[in-house]
Amino acid sequence: MSATAIHDSVLVPRYGEASLADLLPSVLACLGVAGETDRLGLALDVDHVCVLLVDGLGALALAENAATAPFLTGLPAATLTAGFPSTTATSLTTLGTGLPPGEHGILSYLLRLPGQDRLFNTLRWRLHGEGPKVDALTAFAPEHVQPRPSAFERAIAAGIPAVQVAPGYQNGSGLTRAGWRGGDFRPTYSVGDLLDGVLRAVGSAPKTLVYTYHSELDTTGHARGPATRAWRFELAHVDRIAAELAARLPARSALIVTADHGMVELVDRIDFDTHPELPDGVAELGGEPRARHVYTRDGAAADVAATWRAVLGADFLVRTRAEAVEAGWFGPVAGEFTSRIGDLVVAALGTSGIVRTAAEPVQTMMVGHHGSLTAAEQLVPLRIHRT
């Protein structure tokens, strides 16, 4: 399949069968937690599990760079779908709760919460744009914005210690409380510290569940692009981290390596801030360049949909909220979360994106992007090493 075909193909997330939402419920089932189901058929006969989340590691990109990552590509190959939108805040919550986005409510990078006239940044956990400063952790308590139990809470209720080993800024953050609350947190300050923190946590009790996070591959992809030498150098480091962990885990352990999304290089940029037609009838533009939530003014949804479809053409999927929900993009959507979805949901195909040079200058300049329904963005690796 050509690169163009890979990017243009539409892949609706495989919730309930092979998605990030199915991973931790399957792990908990393998660890003997009552009420959980091994949806993925992992059949892990282990006492300890470490999940390494490599931000930005798409399954297609990993396969295309097998020589750069010999340890990871030498493990049995399987893939999961990230979910929609295929973006960090949504995917980390999907993984941490074991629920599709429509059931946990973190439905975008930038979304509208009821009663707010400013969009909410779920990754930074703060109101977006200019306005009065707000203590977002108090005004938007993560346990209220995302009220479902986390997989960590379910593990601990079953007597299994759950530990997150991650950069210190994630400790107590809104996103951590939304998706990963209930466990112990051990901050890391370097790659070596990450390795040491994981190895101290795994095997510290008769059964353990450890989650650890590595971000630099995603950072490199955004800044330099996901098909560059810099990205491959970083992938080699990721491969070494996984190999080191695998070599040092105690007996009856499993290392599971996965990701939150893949990435594509953005070539064609359509600027919402300067376009003569796209802003008409739009109250707020949420999401990100590859997956936009379009919140329209009262009564304007139909006209905005017609305009966007005419302007954007075949490079984008423009769907109403009802159409996107019916198509299963978000999985089952809980009623209280429906209004968080844009009146229109716009998913990019090919190498296009809708940027905002004035309102989102840093994001506009990024080379690599993600969020949409293409295989390059949706497919993430599921690689498992057992001791």
Tokens of 382: 């599921």
Is residue 287 a contact partner of residue 85, using CB atoms and an 8 Å limit?
Answer: yes
How high is the mean pLDDT of the chain? 96
Is residue 349 a contact partner of residue 372, using CB atoms and an 8 Å limit?
Answer: yes
pLDDT band at 5 (very low <50, low <70, confident <90, very high): very low
User: Structural domains in the chain?
Assistant: 20-264+373-386 (3.40.720.10), 268-369 (3.30.1360.180)
Q: What distance in Å separates the CA atoms of residue 352 and residue 312, rounded to the nearest whole number?
A: 10
Percent of the chain residues past pLDDT 70, beyond the cut: 98
Question: What per-residue confidence (pLDDT) applies to 20?
Answer: 98
Question: What per-residue confidence (pLDDT) applies to 18?
Answer: 98
The length of the chain in residues reads: 387
Sign of CA dihedral 352, 353, 355, 361: negative
Tokens of 247: 């070599």
Query: Tens of pLDDT along 227-277?
Result: 999 999 999 999 999 999 999 999 999 999 999 999 999 999 999 999 999
Percent of the chain residues past pLDDT 90, beyond the cut: 96
3-state secondary structure of 80: strand
Query: Tens of pLDDT along 212-224?
Result: 999 999 999 999 9
Residue 6 has pLDDT above 50, yes or no: no
- What's 116's DSSP letter? -
Question: What per-residue confidence (pLDDT) applies to 4?
Answer: 38
Residue 2 has pLDDT above 90, yes or no: no
- Span 148-157, average pLDDT: 98
Judge if pTM exceeds 0.75: yes
Q: Which amino acid is at 224?
A: R
What are residue 171's phi and psi, to 5 degrees? -70, 115
- Span 151-165, average pLDDT: 98
Residue with tokens 């690689």: 383
User: Which helix (H) or strand (E) covers residue 90, if one does?
Assistant: helix 88-97
Query: Tens of pLDDT along 107-133?
Result: 999 999 999 989 999 999 999 987 888
Query: Tens of pLDDT along 304-340?
Result: 999 999 999 999 999 999 999 999 999 999 999 999 9
Query: Tens of pLDDT along 22-61?
Result: 999 999 999 999 999 999 999 999 999 999 999 999 999 9
Question: What per-residue confidence (pLDDT) applies to 88?
Answer: 98
Query: Tens of pLDDT along 130-144?
Result: 788 889 999 999 999
Q: Which of 261, 281, 255 is nearest to 57 (CA)?
A: 261
Tokens of 156: 């601990």
